[in-house]
Amino acid sequence: MGAVIECKNVTYSYPLAKEPAIKDLSLEIERGKFYGVVGENGSGKTTFCALLRGFAPSFYKGELKGEVLVEGKKTTDYGGELSAKIGYVFQNPFTQISGVKDTVFEEVAYGLENFGIPAEEIERRVVEVMQMTDIEALAMKSPFDLSGGQMQRVALASVIVLEPDILIIDEPTSQLDPEGTESVFAIIKTLKEKQKTIILVEHKIDLIAEYADEVLVFKDGQVIAAGDKRKILSDMSLLEKGASLPQVAVLGSMLKERGLPLSEIPVTEKQAIEVIARALEERKKQ
Amino acid sequence: MEKTYTERIQIHKTNKLAGLYPSVKLLVVVLYTVCTFVLGTVHFTRVDLSLLLIPWFLVIPILCASSGALGKCVKALKAVALIALIILLVQTFLVPGGEVLVRFGFLRICEKGLKTAVSLSFMIMNIAGIFVWLFQTTENKEIARALEESGMNYKAAYVFTSTLQMIDILSENSKTIMNAQKARGVETEGNMIVRAKAFFPSLVPLILGAVIGSEERVLTLEARGFSIQGEKTHLFNLEKSGAEKTAAAAAVMITILIIAGRIALWVL
Ligand SMILES: Nc1ncnc2c1ncn2[C@@H]1O[C@H](COP(=O)(O)OP(=O)(O)OP(=O)(O)O)[C@@H](O)[C@H]1O
Ligand SMILES: [Mg+2]
């Protein structure tokens, strides 16, 4: 496995900012794992993503201390090639269209055109991704005429089609209905099965609990907890620090406090059903 | 078999004029503009009016009609005509200088005013008219593709294309914002002054929105490999209508004739 991205004592301040947006961050992102990034508004999640992709400091300027390494090379030493390695989906879907294409099909194909992929292959890959993200019906529509949720899917498709090894996705479901949200997570799941490394910022903690491997909890520019999702999301002390935890975990810990002998604190619904059922069995036996 | 999307995004035009290769259209536009300036120097009557520009303007509707786009063009030309008319009136009545030709009450028409009024307003009609023809018969992506093919830097081509797209979008957005202002009680209908008062506040969100979006837009492009070096693929390809040589030859011939005629007038 090994680390694909490494942050070493990273402190980053935006230009003119009084306080750093990220403070002394050190962590490793391992290949093929799915990281869920959570934390309250303004805690530095987007800034963290921008740092991993090298947008900070190369685009946002500002001051970077420490280093961010992608496959062992500093982000500041990369040029345009980083776009082939890391796919990046931004938080705001409305600014994520190229602005020069007048159909969704061409919009999704735009990156592949830039990479100089042969036309027949572009057609094949774009159609495949449009089916996967459920936007094929929009193929001939103008990207400017889409709803927020449709745009978010087009933005996701435009990045997935490039087949990068690492995907950074910043709140891809903010504009989506529950069904759309589930389908985005299903897409991310298939990407994970293809051994992609995924870094996903998402407020919907229950979905993180279900799909992610690891969780990073941000607060005031620092990672206050990081590690296996079962460990992090069942840690009730995080609640006091303002983090939100899955409802089933909170419920589980309350049941445990009240004396139900749970073997562990569940973080997903499925796990909760199992754990609670087992505990109830046990209690009956006693 | 069903058509592929790559086939579906191509533009096929049956009309030979509308389907001209964009660079040939551009040649026509440039030559037409040259002719307009040349014809503008031919003066008639005692006060030297550039009257030839008036019949010359007939070329525009003929061109638009034979490109099968008269309806669309007339709509755009109406706006141009209004501006030209305002210029005509303002120049005619307000610019002093030279002999006073007519006087009604406090209004008077001077020689210089009438002269510049006629040449300026018809010059505008002609030049704007030919551009209307170009843009109404050519899609943005054809222009974009032609620019890149002409060897223009891809960054410059991007700026140009996205600006063309933005004009469409901004006019859409301004309608939305106008409606929002209306909902908040700002008067947007009525006379010029009322409209102007509504117009300026609506510009603020319009421009602000465009500027705020631009930062992430830059990064989005970056994430899609915009600045990657090397050959790019183009799914959309320009087509020739077959009338390119004829059209270019005709445009050049007419220009030569007009220039020759102008020189002949000088010499004779
Ligand atoms: N472009 C910028 N210039 C200056 N300061 C910024 C910029 N973007 C973010 N910040 C500041 O950096 C801090 C972290 O912001 P960031 O956008 O990373 O938070 P976030 O966790 O992504 O929040 P959200 O959940 O709202 O998306 C905030 O205090 C914010 O005000
Ligand atoms: Mg954010």
Residue ranges covered by each domain of chain B: 5-138+238-267, 152-223
CA distance A145 to A129: 20
CA distance A184 to A138: 17
| pLDDT computed for residue B212 by the predictor | 66
CB-nearest to B4 from A94, A98, A123 is: A123
A274 in any annotated domain? yes
- Segment holding A87, helix H or strand E: strand A86-89
| pLDDT computed for residue B198 by the predictor | 67
Whether residue B6 lies within 8 A of chain A, CB to CB, comes out as yes
Ligand 1 contact via A47 beta carbon (within 6 Å): yes
Q: What's CA B87's distance to the chain center, in Å?
A: 18
- Strand bridging mode A22-30 / A3-13: antiparallel
Ligand 1 contact via A21 beta carbon (within 6 Å): yes
Whether residue B173 lies within 8 A of chain A, CB to CB, comes out as no
Its pTM stands at 0.82
Q: What is the DSSP string of A103-120?
A: SHHHHHHHHHHHTT--HH
Q: What are phi and psi of B238, to 5 degrees?
A: -75, 150
Q: Which residues of B touch A162 (CB under 8 A)?
A: 224-225
- Percent of chain A exceeding pLDDT 70 equals 100
Take residue A276 and report the two structure tokens written for it.
């609670």
Average pLDDT over residues A196-204: 94
| pLDDT computed for residue A157 by the predictor | 95
Does residue B126 contact residue B84 with C-beta atoms inside 8 Å? no
Using 50, 70 and 90 to split pLDDT, how confident is the model at A197?
Answer: very high
A286 in any annotated domain? yes
Q: What angle do CA A270, A226, A162 make, to 5 degrees?
A: 80
Residue type, A58: S
**Among A46, A95, A175, which residue has the most ligand 1 atoms within 8 Å of its CB, making it the best to mutate?**
A46
What Rg, from alpha-carbon coordinates, does chain B have?
Answer: 23
| pLDDT computed for residue B141 by the predictor | 86
A272 in any annotated domain? yes
CB-nearest to B224 from A114, A117, A118 is: A114
Ligand 1 contact via A44 beta carbon (within 6 Å): yes
Report the residue of B10, B226, B233 to disrupt the A interface, i.e. the one with the largest count of A CBs within 10 Å. B233
Q: Which residues of A touch B217 (CB under 8 A)?
A: 95, 99
Calculate how far, in angstroms, residue A46's C-alpha sits from the geometric centre of ligand 1. 6
Give the nearest chain B residue to A58 (CA atoms): B219
Calculate how far, in angstroms, residue A274's C-alpha sits from the geometric centre of ligand 2. 35
**Does the pLDDT value for residue A108 go beyond 90?**
yes
A174 in any annotated domain? no
Average pLDDT, chain A: 91
Q: What is the DSSP letter of B51?
A: T
Whether residues B228 and A96 touch (CB distance < 8 A) is answered with: no
Whether residues A123 and B230 touch (CB distance < 8 A) is answered with: no
Q: What's CA A63's distance to the chain center, in Å?
A: 25
pLDDT digits 0-9 by tens, A160-179: 999 999 999 999 988 888 88
| pLDDT computed for residue B180 by the predictor | 74
**Does the pLDDT value for residue A1 go beyond 60?**
no
**Cβ contacts of residue A247 below 8 Å, gap of 6+?**
A206
| pLDDT computed for residue A115 by the predictor | 92
Q: What is the DSSP string of A227-277?
A: EEHHHHHT-THHHHTT----HHHHHHHHHHHTT---SS---SHHHHHHHHH
B34-61 in b/e form (b: 16+ CB < 10 A) is ebbebbbebbeeebbbbbbbeebbebbe
Ligand 1 contact via A59 beta carbon (within 6 Å): no
| pLDDT computed for residue A106 by the predictor | 95
Number of domains in chain A: 1
- Ligand closest to the CA atom of residue A44: 1
Mean pLDDT by 10 residues, chain B (268 residues): 85 90 94 94 80 90 92 89 90 81 80 86 93 92 88 85 78 72 68 70 68 76 85 91 93 95 88
ipTM: 0.78
Calculate how far, in angstroms, residue B117's C-alpha sits from the geometric centre of ligand 2. 57
| pLDDT computed for residue B47 by the predictor | 75
Span of A30-39, A42-51, A182-191 with lowest mean pLDDT: A182-191
Whether residues A115 and B225 touch (CB distance < 8 A) is answered with: yes
pLDDT digits 0-9 by tens, A215-267: 999 999 999 999 999 999 999 998 888 888 999 999 999 999 998 888 999 99
**Among A11, A18, A47, which residue has the most ligand 1 atoms within 8 Å of its CB, making it the best to mutate?**
A47
- Percent of chain A exceeding pLDDT 90 equals 71
For residue A50, give the ligand 1 atom closest to its CA: 18
Q: What are phi and psi of A61, to 5 degrees?
A: 60, -135
Whether residue A116 lies within 8 A of chain B, CB to CB, comes out as yes
A281 in any annotated domain? yes
Residue type, B243: A
In three-state secondary structure terms, B111 is helix
Average pLDDT over residues A176-200: 90
Q: Where are the alpha helices (DSSP H) in chain A?
A: 45-53, 55-58, 82-85, 104-114, 119-132, 148-160, 178-193, 205-211, 229-233, 237-240, 247-257, 269-285
Q: Classify residue A88 as left (phi > 0), alpha (psi -120 to 50) or beta.
A: beta
- Residue-number span of the structural domain to which A271 is assigned: 246-286
